[in-house]
């Protein structure tokens, strides 16, 4: 499904339309529809940890989000080898308003969210070992 990028994705200011394709319950890819060389791996943060924050008001306005909106949240992953060493940015979530197919990136204040890092490894969330 195609989404309109509102605001900017950090470092990718020219990305304006993206497609998101689910890989599995944990990962999906987000591809720039105007530049086939740009793609991102996204992760479902809720499959890894407790992850809650107040949605910044500027993102609510940009994406036309209200209390009844169907919203999804993902985080960008920087893939490493092995996969467990890949890092996740929990301070700049990708927010999707599924009702109108608008997407944006929020930037959270690290002082308000000291438990969220910019490059936490996937292996740090392994359980049962």
The domain limits of the chain are 2-121
Contacts with 43 (C-beta within 8 Å, 6 or more apart), sequence order: 26, 27, 74, 75, 77, 88, 122
The tokens 């999804």 sit on which residue? 72
* pLDDT at 57 (0 to 100): 93
pLDDT at 127 over 70: no
Judged against a pLDDT cut of 60, whether residue 128 lies above it is answered with no
Residue of 100, 106, 112, 116 lying closest to 57 (CA atoms): 106
Is 50 exposed, middle or buried, given 0-12, 13-18 or 19+ CB atoms closer than 10 A? Answer: exposed
Does 69 or 82 have the greater pLDDT score? 69
Residue pLDDT, tens place only, 9-54:
999 999 999 999 999 989 999 999 999 999 999 999 999 999 999 9
- HEC string of 27-43 equals EEEEEECCCCCCEEEEE
How far apart CA 39 and CA 14 sit, in angstroms, is 13
Question: Hey, what CATH topology would domain 2-121 get?
Answer: BH3618-like (2.30.290)
pLDDT(129) > 60: no
Backbone angles phi, psi at 114, to 5 degrees: -65, -15
Nearest to 20 by CA among 43, 3, 45: 3
């Amino acid at each position: 499904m195609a989404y309109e990028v509102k605001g900017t994705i950090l470092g990718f200011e020219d990305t304006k339309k993206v497609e998101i394709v689910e890989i599995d319950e944990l990962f999906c890819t987000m591809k720039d529809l105007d530049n086939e060389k740009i793609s991102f791996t996204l992760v479902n943060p809720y499959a890894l940890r407790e992850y809650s924050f107040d949605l910044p008001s500027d993102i609510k306005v940009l994406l036309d989000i209200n209390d009844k909106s169907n919203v999804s949240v993902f985080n960008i992953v920087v893939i490493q080898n092995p996969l467990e060493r890949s890092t996740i940015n929990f301070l700049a979530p990708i927010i999707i308003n599924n009702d109108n197919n608008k997407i944006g990136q929020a930037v959270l204040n690290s002082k308000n969210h000291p438990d969220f890092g910019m490059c936490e490894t996937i292996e740090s969330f392994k359980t049962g070992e």
